[in-house]
Chain A
Amino acid sequence: MELLSGGDILIRALREAGVKHLWGYPGGAALHIYDAIFRQADVRHILVRHEQAAVHAADGYARVTGEVGAVLVTSGPGATNAITGIATAAMDSIPLVVISGQVVQERIGDDAFQETDMIGISRPVVKHSFLVKRAEDIAETVAKAFYIAASGRPGPVVIDIPKDVTDPNRKVPYHYPDKVKIRSYQPTTKGHSGQIKRAVKELISARRPVIYAGGGVILGEASTQLRELARMLNFPVTNTLMGLGSYPGSDRQFLGMLGMHGTFEANTAMHHSDVILAVGARFDDRVTNTPAKFCPSATIIHIDVDPTSISKTVRADIPIVGSCDVILQDIIDQVRASSRKPDQVAIGQWWQQIDEWRARHGLYTAPRHEPSGGEIIKPQDVVKALYKVTKGKAFITSDVGQHQMFAAQYYLFDKPRQWANSGGLGTMGYGLPAAMGVKMAFPDDDVACVTGEGSIQMCIQELSTCTQHQLPVKIINLNNQALGMVKQWQDMQYGSRYSHILYEDSLPDFVKLAEAYGHVGMRVDRFEELEEKLEACFALKDRTVFLDINVDPTEHVYPMHIAPNGSMRDLWLSKTERT
């Protein structure tokens, strides 16, 4: 058997686990590992400018490819900087393996230089973690970590490796296991047959059904089944923020996103539904509004791979634990084989009702905002123009705030894994590094980061990474000169007392800043030039372009749930109009 050092074993095992890209930042405790990276060419390391960005980049990569993202950081500050990225991935169930260097075992607990208890500090935000104590255990631990990260409900796994374990002078036999078995971990795949039968019965007899599909459909590769089932039954489909793309955004049966900033038709249809088929969604508080008032007449069928998601906030009438694709396929087969068929008259009437809602307040059918004109560019129109210029085919990443909601509302995602944003944790700074990860995965495709002047500054140092590693992403900066979403809440709930959301003329010149990093910067002030500048931006295939767009600072995101104590259908439709 081949003898290798711990550092070499780690890199070899990563390669074996399928890692092509490793995002990271070196430091003392990781030096043996970095030396092992230097001596090989199979795993490409991408040096970022901050460890948070390394994790977001790997996360973006994982979201669009479905593979496990890989990260390498050093101990202490390297590890703590990675925490925000790990928590982001944990909240959105993104498969990652994050390797952190640790001080030598002899020094653990001594408050050694750059020591931090990474296992302890990451514990609440990982799916699992490992402290490797012997070089002999590295390969198996890596195999286990990748298996855990990718299976069941995916999530981030941390491997903490003390420096002595990767000592180049200590060589041990290398063996990467063919198969991983963990006795305490056996995720359920197949759904309970009795529950599936009950679900099929409910679906067939539904008169006002809605399919509520979340990120689990994308993670569980169940989009094909979702589309097939929805079309077969002619049921309306709504997506969560995380589920966008699991059902084609431009399809007639798509109601748009639901929840706090969801469409009028999606939220209203949910409220009046008699049967809800929830797939890979977790009844998040940004979806349900007040749980006690959630969809009062609906029978809830809930499919999820994670039993803890079921009946956590809203009680499921028919819970089905297992993989979304497998269960949806079973449902499709049973609906097809059933002698009973859905009542098409009732479903037709339901569609009539939905179309009426759509016509009245639809996001896409009736303009929900004053259109742009002259010097004033409405942020919504930027996303619409982006959709048009990229023909709906770009990968979109986003940060957190108003721009994120506008992107989610107005870019119609037709494919799963086309959209990457921090839905659960709401991490400002996610967008740019995530876009780098996406671009690394799909170098020939357009990748745009829809961001704001607040969020972009949280990881703006990554413009330098884009230069070094030739990652020509397009940054679409909806610059409204304020922390827009906070401002909106201050407008709505705090009498427009703008507490610390303004920059008082301290914003950088983003065009010059982009140029300083070697990129192209463009400023857009007038609506007339919006499309033309966007065209110019995407025409520069090999350049990172920063499009700084001056948008209407007074704009709010609507619809918006009325809270507290509101139901799904209680919405603000504009600054003055409510349901």
Chain B
Amino acid sequence: MRRIIAILMENEPGALSRVVGLFSQRGYNIDTLTVAPTEDRTLSRLTLTTTGDEKIIEQITKQLNKLLDVVKVVDLTEGTYIERELMLIKVRALGDQRAEIKRCTDIFRGQIVDVSATSYTIQVAGEGDKLDAFITTLPEGDVVEVVRSGISGIARGEKSLKL
């Protein structure tokens, strides 16, 4: 089962390698990983998605908690949550296609963030499925480059992950 795990950790050199190393060392999967400092500069917030049965997920959360640099761990998928991923996609856009691509971008609430004589660069945010769906609306063979941020997640309601 797919899980989204949110981690608050010390913003120290080497902290990220401990988290990543744990996954490879113990044979767990990382599907996506995002990390950046938080409003408190001493802390980094990391969101990772992984898959595994209940026993593996239990071990993953326990092992993460055991890392000295990790301050807090929450499995967002245990409650209700919001997940978002940002995608930047460069497509070939010529002639009539330009209008069609613009329409699709609007439907998906994306934005064209860069334009050249032969291409558009489009920004789309949303859940992974939505980003997948957007790619399929584009003429096959015209996608030049795709960059996805990996998933960031946050719990719904008043629950928060902080010190």
* Interface residues, chain A, with chain B CB atoms under 8 Å away: 119-120, 123-124, 127-129, 131, 148, 182-185, 306-308, 311-312
Contacts and interface: CB of A to CB of B under 8 A. Distances in A.
A40 B25 CA distance: 42
Given A183-B71, A184-B10, A184-B71, A306 B66 contact: yes
B66 A307 contact: yes
B163 A127 contact: no
A42 B69 CA distance: 33
B9 interface: yes
B62 A183 contact: no
19 contacts: A119-B14, A120-B17, A123-B14, A123-B18, A123-B21, A128-B68, A131-B14, A183-B163, A184-B9, A184-B10, A184-B68, A185-B68, A307-B66, A308-B59, A308-B62, A308-B63, A308-B66, A311-B58, A312-B59
Contacts of B58: 311
Nearest to B25: A124
Contacts of A312: 59
A358 B57 CA distance: 42
A148 B66 CA distance: 12
B154 interface: no
Nearest to A120: B17
Contact of A182 (B13, B65, B66, B68): B68
A307 B17 CA distance: 22
A129 B13 CA distance: 11
Contacts of A183: 71, 163
A124 B24 CA distance: 10
Contacts of B25: 124
B70 interface: yes
Contacts of B159: none
A127 B22 CA distance: 12
B55 A184 contact: no
Contacts of B70: 184
A148 B68 CA distance: 9
Given A148-B68, A183-B163, A306-B66, A123 B59 contact: no
Nearest to A315: B55
A116 B114 CA distance: 44
B65 A307 contact: yes
Q: From A119, A124, A184, A306, name the one whose CB has the most chain B CB atoms within 10 angstroms.
A: A184
A100 to B, nearest CB: 15
Contact of B62 (A123, A128, A185, A307): A307
B114 to A, nearest CB: 35
Report whether over half of chain B's contact residues are helix, strand or loop; otherwise say mixed.
Answer: helix
A124 B26 CA distance: 10
A311 B14 CA distance: 29
A123 B22 CA distance: 9
Contacts of A119: 14
Nearest to B64: A308
Nearest to B163: A183
Contacts of A120: 17
Nearest to A123: B21
The 7 residue pairs across chains A and B that have the minimum distance between CB atoms: A128-B68, A184-B71, A308-B62, A307-B62, A124-B25, A123-B21, A308-B63
Nearest to B66: A308
Contacts of B71: 183-184
Interface string B51-79: 00001001100110110111100000000
Q: From B66, B68, B71, name the one whose CB has the most chain A CB atoms within 10 angstroms.
A: B68
Contacts of A123: 14, 17-18, 21
Contacts of B65: 307
Contact of B55 (A129, A307, A308, A311): A311
A119 B21 CA distance: 12
Contacts of B163: 183
Contacts of A124: 21, 25
Contacts of B62: 307-308
Contacts of A131: 13-14
A184 B59 contact: no
A116 to B, nearest CB: 15
Contacts of B21: 123-124
Q: From A120, A148, A307, A308, name the one whose CB has the most chain B CB atoms within 10 angstroms.
A: A308
Q: From A119, A127, A148, A307, name the one whose CB has the most chain B CB atoms within 10 angstroms.
A: A307
Nearest to B60: A308
Interface string B79-103: 0000000000000000000000000
A425 to B, nearest CB: 15
Given A123-B17, A124-B25, A311-B55, 7 more contacts: A127-B68, A184-B10, A185-B68, A308-B59, A308-B62, A308-B63, A311-B58
B23 to A, nearest CB: 11
Contacts of B14: 119, 123, 129, 131
A178 to B, nearest CB: 21
Nearest to B8: A184
Nearest to B72: A184
B132 to A, nearest CB: 35
A153 to B, nearest CB: 8
Nearest to A183: B71
Nearest to B55: A311
A119 B55 CA distance: 30
A295 to B, nearest CB: 18
Interface in B6-62: 9-10, 13-14, 17-18, 21, 25, 55, 58-59, 62
Contacts of A307: 62, 65-66
B129 to A, nearest CB: 33
Contacts of B17: 120, 123
Contacts of B55: 311
A311 B9 CA distance: 25
B73 to A, nearest CB: 11
Q: From B13, B62, B69, name the one whose CB has the most chain A CB atoms within 10 angstroms.
A: B62
A508 to B, nearest CB: 39
A312 B71 CA distance: 22
Q: From B18, B25, B65, name the one whose CB has the most chain A CB atoms within 10 angstroms.
A: B18
A185 B25 CA distance: 22
A119 B163 CA distance: 27
B144 to A, nearest CB: 35
Nearest to B70: A184
Contacts of A306: 66
Nearest to A130: B14
B72 to A, nearest CB: 8
Contact of B69 (A184, A308, A311): A184
Nearest to A129: B14
A432 B66 CA distance: 33
Nearest to B10: A184
B107 to A, nearest CB: 45
Nearest to B68: A128
